[in-house]
Structure 1
């Protein structure tokens, strides 16, 4: 229904941003990360997700498309609802979360309020499994020995970065383009992911 909202930031509260669009204030539930990108009284833009259910009509807003992708991805995990997804994304960036999933880092996930070890393990298991199925379906090789659809050579580090980007919802073609021109041999993994994300959200 809504792709994004752009207007004046009317109010900032814990886990909530109100965006004034033409005199109408849209209350968007959001993360600490997105709140840090917005300033009250100034122009702001958030990419939105509308959650509609029985007695529920909630609007969620995110500063970047990658954060929105990650939020949707988390909702696809059994037992993870919007509140838990927001908590997870409020304790770290999307690229940090993707790295935690790829490396099996439960501690990063359990740092979020209300996220226990069992849920953290389920997130890692289900999203890794989803990634494996998607890579098989798209032909993107994460083995470290293959090439992508655009013939980008994947070293082990580049392969891990590609997996993290795929976890965030990007296609094999998008991942291949994003990694082109990034110094995958010398940069740390987190910086490779960060630079690739910047290229995709431009």
Structure 2
């Protein structure tokens, strides 16, 4: 399997880009999230990839982050979600917000993506909710990225800050979010901090 590709960015289109490596141009289908992060044409770029094998050929998908690729792979594992729909979902949201929407059971947020109706949104939530709320998700991301580094105090502080920002993005007040997150263990990952905070808010 092609894990990643590094080369010169030759073309950027609404739903794909072309990366030239060793004289060969590779067409990589990509989300708006990834395409918006690309450098200028002619500059070097590295994309993580997923090779999709279909009856009439193969297609290469490119991702700017490991988190986005992991989200893509989880989405295409859901019945009724093909790579096109998965890219549409990732184009409508960041990977962080997507996981938060699934964890919170926010079907309305998912239906904003082209090709996602209410029933499919509910199926995505049903099949992925436990996965995105799992404490092992952070470990899986670290393993895919080549191993986890030791967590420093500043990293733990950043995790809480990111969790507060994520809650604010979901509509909760900054003060309320900070009050709920502050007493939580410093060792918790962002997704776990948010999951616990959402449970607290739901209990009232």
> Does the alignment reach a TM-score above 0.5?
yes
Kept in 2: contact 1:95–1:193 (CA 8 A): no
Give yes or no for the alignment of 1:107 onto 2:108: yes
1:58-98 CA deviation, whole Å, 9 max, x = no partner? Answer: 00000111111110010111110000000000011100000
TM-score normalised by the chain length of structure 2: 0.70
CA distance in 2, matches of 1:65, 1:119: 25
Against the structure 1 CA distance between its residues 88 and 185, is the aligned structure 2 distance closer, same or farther, given a 3 Å change threshold?
Answer: closer
Residue 40 of structure 1 and its aligned partner are, at CA, apart by 1.7
- Structure 1 segment 117-156 matched on structure 2, within 5 A: 117-130=118-131, 135=134
Whole-Å separation in 2 of the counterparts to 1:115 and 1:67:
18
CA contact (8 A) 2:159 2:190 kept: no
Whether the 8 Å contact between 2:8 and 2:43 is mirrored in structure 1 is: yes
Within the candidate set 166, 171, 176, 2:137 is matched to 166
Deviations, residues 137-192 of structure 1 (Å, cap 9, x unaligned)? xxx5xxxxxxxxxxxxxxxxxxxxxxxx8289547996x95973446389615178
Task: Indicate which of 176, 186, 190 corresponds to 2:166.
Answer: 190
Whole-Å Cα distance in 1 between the matches of residues 141 and 162 of structure 2? 23
Q: Residue 76 and residue 169 in structure 1: after superposition, are their counterparts in 2 closer, same or farther (change >3 A)? A: farther
Q: Summarize the Cα distance change of 1:34–1:186 in structure 2 as closer, same or farther, 3 Å threshold.
A: closer
Which residue number in structure 2 is paired with residue 8 of structure 1? 8
SS of aligned partner of 1:40: coil
5+ residue gaps, structure 2, are: 168-188, 194-204
Would you say the 8 A contact 1:17–1:29 is kept in 2? yes
Q: Pick closer, same or farther for the CA change 1:186–1:8 going to 2, 3 Å.
A: closer
Q: Distance in 2 between matches of 1:90 and 1:183?
A: 24
Q: Any stretches of 5+ residues in structure 1 without a counterpart?
A: 141-164, 197-202
CA distance in 2, matches of 1:36, 1:186: 21
Alpha carbons 2:19, 2:25 under 8 Å: kept: yes
Aligned partners of 1:47 and 1:13: how far apart in 2?
Answer: 18
Question: Is the CA contact (8 Å cut-off) linking 2:4 and 2:47 kept in structure 1?
Answer: yes
Q: So what's the TM-score if we normalise by structure 1?
A: 0.71
1:168–1:36 distance in 2 versus 1, CA, 3 Å: farther
* Aligned mates of 2:158, 2:102 — CA distance in 1: 22
Kindly tell me: are residues 108 and 186 of structure 1, through their superposed partners in 2, closer, same or farther at Cα, counting changes over 3 Å? closer
> Does the 8 Å contact 1:98/1:167 carry over to 2?
no
